[in-house]
């Protein structure tokens, strides 16, 4: 397992489109598991959408430090608020 060295909190690096990328900050680590030159360019639009989504999505529910039960409660409360008349 590899962790992002750009984030303050420990975030597991994921492999997306042949690049090792941090899902929290989009940092790409070229030293981890990169395979094939230019493959990372194939996901440019997807990465850009991810950045836009994180910037514009509200509310953001932190799933990295909270238990699944706490996350479910938060999402359920949000859904109740949204559907309340
Ligand atoms: Zn990061």
Q: Which range of residues forms the domain containing residue 56?
A: 14-83
Residue 1 lies in a domain: no
Residue 8 lies in a domain: no
Residue 32 lies in a domain: yes
Residue 6 lies in a domain: no
Q: What is the DSSP string of 15-76?
A: EETTEEE-TTT--B-TTSS--STTGGGGGHHHHHHHHHHHHH-SSPP--SSS-HHHHHHHHH
* Total of domains in the chain: 1
Residue 40 lies in a domain: yes
Q: Is the dihedral of CA 65, 69, 72, 74 positive or negative?
A: negative
**Whole-prediction pTM value?**
0.39
What's residue 42's pLDDT?
58
Residue 47 lies in a domain: yes
Distance 75 CA to ligand 1 centre (A): 24
Q: Report pLDDT digits (tens) over 19-68.
A: 888 888 888 877 776 554 444 455 677 777 778 877 887 777 888 899 99
Residue 75 lies in a domain: yes
Distance 25 CA to ligand 1 centre (A): 4
What's residue 57's pLDDT?
77
Residue 7 lies in a domain: no
What's residue 14's pLDDT?
86
Distance 74 CA to ligand 1 centre (A): 24
């Amino acid at each position: 397992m590899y962790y992002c060295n750009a984030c303050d909190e420990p975030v597991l690096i994921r492999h997306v489109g042949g690049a090792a990328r941090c899902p929290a900050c989009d940092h790409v680590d070229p030293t981890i598991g990169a395979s094939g030159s230019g493959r990372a360019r194939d996901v440019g639009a997807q990465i850009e959408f991810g950045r836009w989504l994180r910037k514009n999505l509200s509310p953001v529910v932190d799933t990295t430090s909270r238990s699944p039960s706490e996350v479910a409660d938060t999402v359920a409360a949000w859904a109740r608020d949204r559907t309340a008349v």
